[in-house]
Amino acid sequence: MDRVKSLLRFHRYFINGNKIIYTNRSIIEICNPRIKNSIIRVSNKSKLIIGKNVVLENVNFNICDGSTLIISDNCKISNSIINSIGSICIFGNGNIVQKGDMSGDVHILLRNSKLEIGSQNRFRCEKIWVRFGGDLVIGDYNNFNEYSELRCDEQINIGDFNQISYFVKIWDTNTHCIYTPKIRRKITIDNFPNFGIEHEKPKTGPVNIGSDNWLGMNVIILKGTVIGDRNNIGIGTVLSKEQIQSDKTVVNNSTIRILDNKM
């Protein structure tokens, strides 16, 4: 059986805490990062490349089954958990992944999928989940604020220079399948005490977001939605299978009732 020769290059780095590295047909090239309290597992055909001036703190990489993780130069990934199994994960130059002033750690979960991030993005969101062969592609200079979520089970494309506010949800998936009570009960019993376990892909629809958009607080973007460039999506707006052209402002229709106080 042909074997791919492993290439290991370690330059200036230090480890504080546990380090576990498994290699098999892998290329591991670590230039000069600082690594703290990290567990890095690499196996099978995986490629792990960490560039220059990369800061990693409290990060758990779990890469196996032919996965690829590349973190390019000048990235800072702290207070984050990246769990990647059977997936391709690429960070361009200068990305920042860190918890915000109000939120907890950033959780990035990849399952047999692809996450490709351009350069100079800042992620302070709560979670990024890519599953079931999903493909999440993010451009350059995007900002994702606290408590926001990206959930991709098929395809999400996000352009450049987008401002994503707090509590924003961008989902191309229903996240859960709809089963009969009998099947759902069996899944619940089999997986207790873990609830909501999914074994098959839910209904999905690609989401495409252009560049220079502003997504306000509590905006929800659901499957099948297309947003062009230079749009403002107002607070609390919910978009599902909507096609928004460029240079628009989108707000929810709302009405209020004013009632007399009765003593």
Q: Who wins on pLDDT, 100 or 232? A: 232
Dist CA 191 CA 132 (whole Å): 19
Q: Is the pLDDT of residue 170 over 80?
A: yes
Between 21 and 173, the higher pLDDT residue: 173
Structure tokens at 52: 């220059």
Instruction: Tell me: pLDDT of 211 over 80.
Output: yes
Dihedral class, residue 187 (left if φ above 0, else alpha if ψ from -120 to 50, else beta): alpha
Q: Which residue has the higher pLDDT, 165 or 50?
A: 165
- Which pLDDT score is estimated for 9? 52
* Residue 169, pLDDT above cutoff 80: yes
Which backbone phi and psi does 140 adopt, to 5 degrees?
Answer: -115, 150
Residue 23: predicted pLDDT: 57
Residue among 221, 80, 77 at smallest CA distance from 158: 221
The tokens 């098999």 sit on which residue?
A: 24
Q: Starting at the earlier edge strand, list the strands of the sheet with 55-57.
A: 14-16, 34-36, 55-57, 76-78, 96-97, 122-123, 143-144, 163-164, 214-215, 232-233, 249-250
- Which range of 11-25, 99-113, 119-133 scores highest in mean pLDDT? It is 119-133
Alpha carbon 121 to its chain's center: 12
pLDDT at residue 174 tops 50: yes
pLDDT at 32 over 70: no
Give CA–CA dist 133/141, Å, rounded. Answer: 25
Contact 68, 90 (CB under 8 A): yes
Q: Which of 120, 122, 123 is nearest to 108 (CA)?
A: 123
Name which of 7-11, 207-211, 247-251, 253-257 the model is least confident about. Answer: 7-11
Gap between the Cα atoms of 254 and 56, Å rounded: 45
